[in-house]
Amino acid sequence: MKIRAKVIISLINQKQVLLSEGYDPVRDFRFYIPVGGGVEFGETLEAAAKRELSEELGVTGHELEFLNFHESLFEFQGIPEHEIMFHYLCAIDDAVRETLPETGTESDGEPFQISWLSRIELDAVREKIVPPLIFDDLSSRLL
C-alpha cells in the first residue's frame, strides 16, 4: 500500500468556502472536502494545486496561500487509504465566483457536487469534514 501525496484547495469568497461533496456507500457517509487531487511525479505542490483548480473548476491565474498539511488514515469504499494532504487557500472575487460551474469535474470526467458554506454552515457539518482538522484551517477565515 502506498502513501498518497495530495493537494486540497479551499476557495473563499464572501465569507464562504467552496467544498466538494463526496459519498462513501460502504459506510453510508456523506462528507465535505476541498477540491484537489494527487501530486504527479516531478510536480511542485503549488503547481499541482493550480492544475487541480483548473481541471476541476476552470479557475486559473490566482495566487494560492499554503495553510497547513494533514495526514489522514481512513477507509473509503472499504479500502484502507493513507494520504498526506497539503491544504491551500484561494481567494476569489465575485466575478470569478459567478463563472464557476454548478458541479466540479474529476480528471476522469465524472461530475461532483460543490457547495458554498458559511462559517455557521461549516460548523453544522463539522463531523462530516475530511480531513477533520481543515475546520481549524478555515473557521477563522470565514468571520
pLDDT tens digits, one per residue of 57-103: 999 999 999 999 999 999 999 999 999 999 999 999 999 999 998 88
- Provide, rounded to the nearest whole percent, the portion of the chain with pLDDT above 90: 90
| β pairing state of 79-91 and 65-76 | antiparallel
pLDDT at 105: 85
pTM of the full predicted structure? 0.94
Amino acid at 35: V
Q: Residue 2: CA atoms inside 13 Å, Cβ hemisphere, count?
A: 4
CB–CB of 35/73 below 8 Å?
Answer: no
For the chain, the straight-line distance linking the first and the last C-alpha, in angstroms and rounded, comes to: 40
CATH class of 4-142: alpha beta
Q: 126-129 — which CB contacts under 8 Å span 24+ positions?
A: 128/29, 128/30, 128/31, 128/32, 129/19, 129/31, 129/32, 129/33
Is residue 25 packed enough to be buried (19+ CB in 10 Å), middle (13-18) or exposed (0-12)?
exposed
Amino acid at 82: H
